[in-house]
Chain A
């Protein structure tokens, strides 16, 4: 598939097909991220459309030294934060998540750790994880989705959120441990 930067360049020169290719390439990953963040398919589809329109109108500000998809997901992340702020929902500051490390699980393995995941079939485990995702604080859910559903590298996530790679890793591990705790609570 053609390089994103080249497609952006062609779009800016008025090539509509180039933007169509961008749309086809990124719509599903973006919907999977936005969908998990808002939890509603129709709303997620609307937001995905809006993010693409915003992306198109801002295309001239894109700096090619950055990966296009990190730029696109940064726009999406900001869009979701703005939506929550307008709705007066605690935006729990996905963008200020550094202050939110309370209830952080310990990274030490307990001496008597029960096997939780092994108790479920893979499909059942997936369903449980989906439900547990809704309970995760959004600043952790966002990183989990990027890492495991969108399959971003830690470096890409760090670039989107403009935080150190080590912090991203810790938060992704933290999100998985919290999911495991939710599963343990459900068992």
Chain B
């Protein structure tokens, strides 16, 4: 047999030859120092190539990809639960106000209506004035809104639905208490 070609050496080392070809090459390298040396050289190269360091993926890789493919959406059931808790919180806050203020229910409704109307009127005035400013910076506001929305979308993927419900309920209670505080302030002003 003639001396080996390099491609034959690689096929030999990678077990890509028939048993007959394999034996024939083995016979040759046992008697040819040059080919033996060439085989040893490629053997080291192949061994090192097959054991190169592995690049590890980060632990959260799978979850990152899944979050991008299947963005978390709040189900109808979650929305219903959230609305129920929000409504319950509002009713609870109303009764807290009722108990603390010592007014009759009818008075309380009337006062709350007045407060709401007064707030609404103030807000309308402020909004009319703000509209002029908004018209100037409309592009800027649109960008900000878009940023807030994307932030909220990100938040909904991070927070669990239970936590979101909790946050909404908390904000409802805080709002009710603020309303109550505002009413007391107004009443105090009227009395004075």
A residues within 8 Å of B by Cβ? 16, 19-20, 23-24, 27-28, 31-32, 35, 41, 44-45, 48-49, 52-53, 56, 105-109, 111, 113, 115-118, 122, 125-126, 129-130, 144, 148-149, 151, 154, 169-170, 172-173, 176-177, 179-180
- Whether A130 contacts B11 by the Cβ 8 Å rule is no
Q: Which of B4, B11, B66, B69 has the most chain A CB atoms closer than 10 A to its own CB?
A: B69
- Whether A24 contacts B49 by the Cβ 8 Å rule is no
Query: Which of A31, A148, A179 meets B57, CB within 8 Å?
Result: A31
- Whether B7 contacts A176 by the Cβ 8 Å rule is no
Chain-A contact segment, one of B34-42, B133-141, B177-185:
B34-42
CB contact under 8 A between A32 and B54, given known A27-B62, A129-B48: yes
> Is the C-beta of B65 less than 8 angstroms from some C-beta in chain A?
yes
B10 / chain A contacts, CB cutoff of 8 Å: 169, 172-173, 176
Q: Which of B7, B34, B49, B52 has the most chain A CB atoms closer than 10 A to its own CB?
A: B49
Q: How large is the interface on B (under 10, 10 to 19, 20 to 34, 35 or more residues)?
A: 35 or more
Closest 4 CB pairs of A and B: A117-B44, A148-B49, A125-B48, A107-B6
B residues within 8 Å of A by Cβ? 3-7, 9-11, 16, 34-35, 37-38, 40-42, 44-58, 61-62, 64-66, 68-70
- Whether A109 contacts B35 by the Cβ 8 Å rule is yes
